[in-house]
Structure 1
Amino acid sequence: MHKVIHSESIKSALAARGWTQAQLAKQLGESPQLVSLWLKGETFPSPAKLLKLATTLKLGFDKLVEPSANQPMIAFRKKAGAKTTDEHIVKARGMGELLKPLVAYLPQQQALHTLLPSPSTGYIPLQVAAAQVRAKIGIGASATLEYSHLIGEFKQNDAILVPVLWGEKQNHKNALHILLRSENVTFVYLNLDTRLEDFKFWMAHELAHVYTPGLAGTEEGEDFADAFAGALLFPQACAEQAYAQAMRARGEKGQMAVLQRHAADHSISVYTVFRETQGFAQSKGLAPLSVDEKALHALRNSQRGELVSASLFKPGPPKPQELIALTAKLFQSDFFLALQRLLNDRGGSESYVQQVLDVPLRDGLALFEVLSGAQVS
């Protein structure tokens, strides 16, 4: 099913402004004939023109485009305080369309994927789901979940990891999840310019999206992914131990020191440990910790770890060959290998590489030169 413009929404927006189709075309800088073809569903605007149409009529993407069973589903792991705009949505879905030709160059898909049929943010269902995943991976109830465990689960579920360098502050998202529904393949972009104590949580968050494709792109899906990530990384057995130790500690500072030790042991944020420990106490009807959340956040912000990119590439930034090698060897991802095969088979340009990775054109050019002229192992 191809994408078509939601003509009734546009006609209503035009009527509210007292515009004709010709006047809309003038506002867009397009011909009236082209706008007419859009409204008839005979052609579809490019991402740039679609965005201009959305901003001109002040219509959200969901009001502008007829729902399609084949359109990419997207989910953002946003930075704190960031707002997802129509421009972000249009751009991400455009990336999804560009990824479709890449699927043919990926390895054969796995026969079975892990699915969580009844996702719930309730404490007990979350703990059950986390325990099932941990048992599948083969680790105990209180063992530290390693990056290799998460990477292995992505690979087993045909989720292609795409490590990117989007900067710590320049981009509104820390991760981007694109599900190609017809192809049943997921691409997960992970921003390496992320603090070490947050990165594992964001990977677990994205894994939750892989397990619950039906919730992709919804607020319910985001809430579940956050809750599941915490339960998977610091499950009940860990929270129970942390609670017991914290309640024996002296005062708020003593409790925070206990939480910090557990956070360091699991390579996660102290806030994740705090939240999961408080959740355990509430589920058992126990007294909450005496730690003040504001004080905890202040402590966390004063002791931030280095960026993942800085720990992986010293001195940085990495050369294209280094990023390509890291993607294949550490993240067990065939993304750049498939991209190289596509470029060699079908041809392509630095513009395609730049757009499919959402990086500056100079970075797209550097990667294109390596992919089109060197072997990717």
Structure 2
Amino acid sequence: MHKVIHSENIKQSLQARGWKQKDLAEALGVTAQSVTNWLKGSDFPRPDKLLKLATTLQLGFDKLVKTHTVGQPVVAFRKKAGAKTTDAHIDKAMVMGALLKALVPFLPPMPALRLQLTAPSTDYEPLQAVVSQVRARLGLGEEAAVAYHDLIGEFGANGAVVAPVLWGQKQNHKNALHILLPQENVTFIFLNLDTHQEDFKFWMAHELAHVYTPDLAGKEAGEDFADAFAGALLFPRAVASKTYGHAGTGNKTTEAKVLTEQAKAYGISVFSVFSEVNRYAHSQDLPPLRHTAEQIHQMRQIQRGKTMSEELFAPVPAEPGAYIAATKNTFKSAFFESLQKMIKKKETGTGYIQQVMDIPMQDAIALHGELVD
């Protein structure tokens, strides 16, 4: 896919600032001739310059780059609570998607037959029917807990490449990122390991919903369905019904005890249990649980467990070799194997790793050193 800069939009932005092309060149740290070549369409900015161009002129990716939408990456964030997705976040993810295209030829063959959910709905009955279908596909009974390996296997079986990342608990905007490359028919799922175990399984199920519904990726309806699907898959109606029966027979203390026990048994957060039990109650015109959402959130904070990175790599931070091995062995992902092939074939540098994984340069250097050995 040939990409060119939206020269008219850039010229208008320069005029609004009273800038000439040489002023833009100075701001970006490039030559005036480079800017001229971009605007003429004879050259295209490197990813780091493209991102700096977007932030300098405050132009979104769609305003900055001319590209056919059929080949444009589709991005979807699983955001941290209260985080707002800005144009800068979208632009960075789009640049990551554009860079990932170069990695696709080094991936193992992707399966042609994939599960795609038709007419996905967040309504209770249709959603539970979909969940039953998926659970049957996974070989799980109505009340069985979903294990990590159940979800991991589905990513690979449906053309998705998992890339576990160490983005930290607080400083990063996102805890997961979904990048679909429509032309290549490949999806990359970046999962933040620096998150608590009781939330991580939910995020995996959320991302799996995106894989099952590619037409909804990047849309608000897709986020709503993914959240609803994840909760229902991990704590389906059969379990929610029994939990409601046990919790509803006692007082508030009994209710809290039942919800906490079920959260531990199913390896998910107490808030997920609370939400699914209340959804079941609403579907049956039954009274809601005694606790409020705010009270459950407070309970959830008290019951926080280890992060995935702490569980996998103790002590943390992980050594590059252990991190790469976990990606292959625990997450059954060919991400680093493919990246290693690309590095050896094309002599790809550390800058590519830094940008495609959105990590600090020192971490990219450490990973690059491990991959070239």
TM-score (norm: length of structure 2): 0.91
Report percent identity of matched pairs.
56
* Contact kept in structure 1, 2:61 and 2:94, CA below 8 Å: no
* Contact kept in structure 2, 1:61 and 1:90, CA below 8 Å: yes
CA distance in 1, matches of 2:21, 2:214: 38
How much has 1:63 moved relative to structure 2?
A: 3.1
3-state SS in 1 of match to 2:76:
strand
Matches within 5 A, 1:24-39: 34-35=34-35, 37-39=37-39
Question: Which range moves more in the overlay, 6-15 or 129-138?
Answer: 6-15
3-state SS in 2 of match to 1:321:
helix
The residue aligned with 1:234 is: 235
Amino acid at match of 2:51: L
1:330–1:55 CA distance, 2 compared to 1 (3 A) = closer
How much has 1:217 moved relative to structure 2?
A: 1.7
CA distance in 1, matches of 2:135, 2:62: 37
Q: Deviations over 1:278-319 (max 9, x none)?
A: 111111111111111111111111121111111111222221
- Cα RMSD over matched residues? 2.3
Matches within 5 A, 1:185-196: 185-196=186-197
How much has 1:271 moved relative to structure 2?
A: 0.7
1:131–1:40 CA distance, 2 compared to 1 (3 A) = farther
3-state SS in 2 of match to 1:101:
coil
CA distance in 2, matches of 1:44, 1:351: 17
How much has 1:159 moved relative to structure 2?
A: 1.0
* Contact kept in structure 1, 2:2 and 2:67, CA below 8 Å: no
Amino acid at match of 1:194: T
CA distance in 1, matches of 2:192, 2:179: 14
The residue aligned with 2:280 is: 280
Q: Which runs of 5+ in 2 are unaligned?
A: none
3-state SS in 1 of match to 2:101:
helix
1:350–1:25 CA distance, 2 compared to 1 (3 A) = closer
CA distance in 2, matches of 1:116, 1:169: 34
The residue aligned with 1:221 is: 222
Q: Deviations over 1:323-347 (max 9, x none)?
A: 1111111111111111122222222
How much has 1:42 moved relative to structure 2?
A: 4.0
TM-score (norm: length of structure 1): 0.91
Matches within 5 A, 1:76-225: 76-225=77-226
1:16–1:122 CA distance, 2 compared to 1 (3 A) = farther
Matches within 5 A, 1:42-61: 42-61=42-61
3-state SS in 2 of match to 1:248:
coil
* Contact kept in structure 2, 1:163 and 1:189, CA below 8 Å: yes
3-state SS in 1 of match to 2:372:
helix
Question: Which range moves more in the overlay, 67-76 or 144-153?
Answer: 67-76
* Contact kept in structure 2, 1:160 and 1:333, CA below 8 Å: yes
CA distance in 2, matches of 1:96, 1:123: 34
Give aligned pairs, total: 372
Amino acid at match of 1:167: G
